[in-house]
Amino acid sequence: MTHPLLIQGGMGVGVSGWKLASAVSREGQLGVVAGTALATVLIRRLQDGDPGGVCRKAMETFPVKGLSEKILQRYFIPSGKAPEKGYLRHPLPDARPNSLFQELTVVGTFVEVFLAKAGHTRKVGLNLLEKIQIPTLASLYGAMLAGVDYVLMGAGIPRNIPGILDDFAKGNKASLPLDVEGASRDESTSLSFDPADYPMAKSQLLKRPYFLAIVSSHVLAQTLVKKSNGRVDGLIVEGASAGGHNAPPRVRGELSPSGEPVYGPRDEVDLAKIRDLNLPFWLAGSFGQPGKLKQALALGATGVQVGTPFAFCEESGIDPAIKAKVIAQSRAGTLEIFTDPAASPTGFPFKVIASSGSISEKPVYEARTRRCDLGYLRKPYRREDGSLGFRCPAEPIDDFIRKGGSAEEAENRKCVCNGLMSTVGLSQIQAGNEKEPVMVTGGLDAKRLYTFLAGEDRTGFSAKEVIDCLLKDQFPEEGMAGRYAEASAP
């Protein structure tokens, strides 16, 4: 088996949508669709009239009878909703296996993977975050129905995923232990998903995709390989300069004068220990620069995973105006990126690009009414009466405290769900005409985006241009040597 040299990292929400993944896969590298919040992405596209009819085309091929029709009936607006109107939401995510939310997740993920794979025979991956557990089983099943080739998962310890892929490939029911805050030690709660609840017109054997775990330390890599409930096929070793969420430093609580988490020697990955695991591995976090692939290969890696340059290329889901602004800031040397220790309700540090009008600005953050209407980052907790509740530190503070959370934990949290939806042009219009502000994330490499511009007159670049640039040291005769400014960080 040959694995790709270059993996385009999964970027939620909708940043690495099917268009970007398809563009990358068609170039022979691994395109990865972001698996987060695809239920919402699907129903918002349908309410925008599904331009080009692509979602409906994919839904027509969905093998479980009746489900696509039910979803279309509820959410599809042929002429698109009026811009000043809000989107109809799906019910908040909950643990029931057959809820409308779970059905939307299966179909939404199927659609995204199906579209990314359409029209070519190359491989496509799906990225999920371990911390978001409620949709995981439905997402994996929907992706496998569409023939996903790789599943990539980080932001936690995804040791239960390989076995789930094995179960689904055999047509068996699968379950996933749910992390419940406040649960007693001897109690365990599991989510389950049974393919039998999704009867297909004709039975279909599902392929078991490769499973790649995204890790930030060799200790985690070793644990995963030893303790997973099935085969781990490879590792992506990601450093703290990467876009999106970052793993917290091993020594917690220390902040730099600018208020960012401080990473020290204990956070350095011992690559010798990774090599000892004898698995293919890819390096990520500022590897989207010319020469970096060569460096990674020399260290024994199979290749690199790159996010930030792809996030701002033409095919990504980010609103074109935001892309243009960020690239222009990079060119002018004025781009600022802050590793925010508090923004994300997950508790993981989150890279935020300073962008005017976005939630990175204090007045914008303070003017927003706190609410939790998407609910992907709600954490399950055990109520006093023993029932299961859900809470998010970015929800209205009084609600969070009523549910047993603390004011301290809620402080400075941002609604990542709504912020990221807005960044890909799917913002909600809330009551009182309040439009959800955008939240832009990118790795430290965002400062160097200008190096992908193939000329003074260019304001953007394609996924193919990023790939050519990154591969040019490896394949000089096919590369585009000379077209790119020598990369030097401003």
Ligand X SMILES: Cc1cc2nc3c(=O)[nH]c(=O)nc-3n(C[C@H](O)[C@H](O)[C@H](O)COP(=O)(O)O)c2cc1C
Return residues touching ligand X (CB under 6 A): 9-12, 15, 34, 36, 127, 129, 154-155, 214, 238, 241-244, 284-286, 288, 305-308, 311, 441-443, 445
CB-based contacts of 53: which residues, under 8 Å, 6+ apart? none
Of 155 and 343, CB closest to ligand X: 155
Of 30 and 43, CB closest to ligand X: 30
Say how far apart CA 114 and CA 109 lie, in whole Å: 8
The nearest distance, CB 404 to ligand X, in angstroms, is: 28
How many CB atoms are closer than 10 A to CB 97? 16
Longest dimension (CA), the chain: 68
The nearest distance, CB 10 to ligand X, in angstroms, is: 5
Residue nearest to ligand X (CB): 307
H or E element at residue 481: none
Of 64 and 463, CB closest to ligand X: 463
| CA-based nearest residue to 87, from 438, 436, 427, 370 | 427
Of 195 and 309, CB closest to ligand X: 309
Say how far apart CA 219 and CA 237 lie, in whole Å: 11
H or E element at residue 7: strand 6-8
The nearest distance, CB 455 to ligand X, in angstroms, is: 23
| CA-based nearest residue to 241, from 273, 219, 216 | 216
Of 47 and 286, CB closest to ligand X: 286
Of 162 and 195, CB closest to ligand X: 162
95, 139, 375 from 180: Cα distances, Å: 12, 20, 16
Concatenating the DSSP letter of every residue in 37-79 gives THHHHHHHHHHTT-GGGHHHHHHHT-SBTTHHHHHHHHH--TT
The nearest distance, CB 424 to ligand X, in angstroms, is: 10
Say how far apart CA 220 and CA 452 lie, in whole Å: 34
Say how far apart CA 327 and CA 449 lie, in whole Å: 6
Of 311 and 467, CB closest to ligand X: 311
The nearest distance, CB 148 to ligand X, in angstroms, is: 15
The nearest distance, CB 223 to ligand X, in angstroms, is: 18
The nearest distance, CB 419 to ligand X, in angstroms, is: 12
The nearest distance, CB 97 to ligand X, in angstroms, is: 24
Of 307 and 375, CB closest to ligand X: 307
Say how far apart CA 403 and CA 359 lie, in whole Å: 26
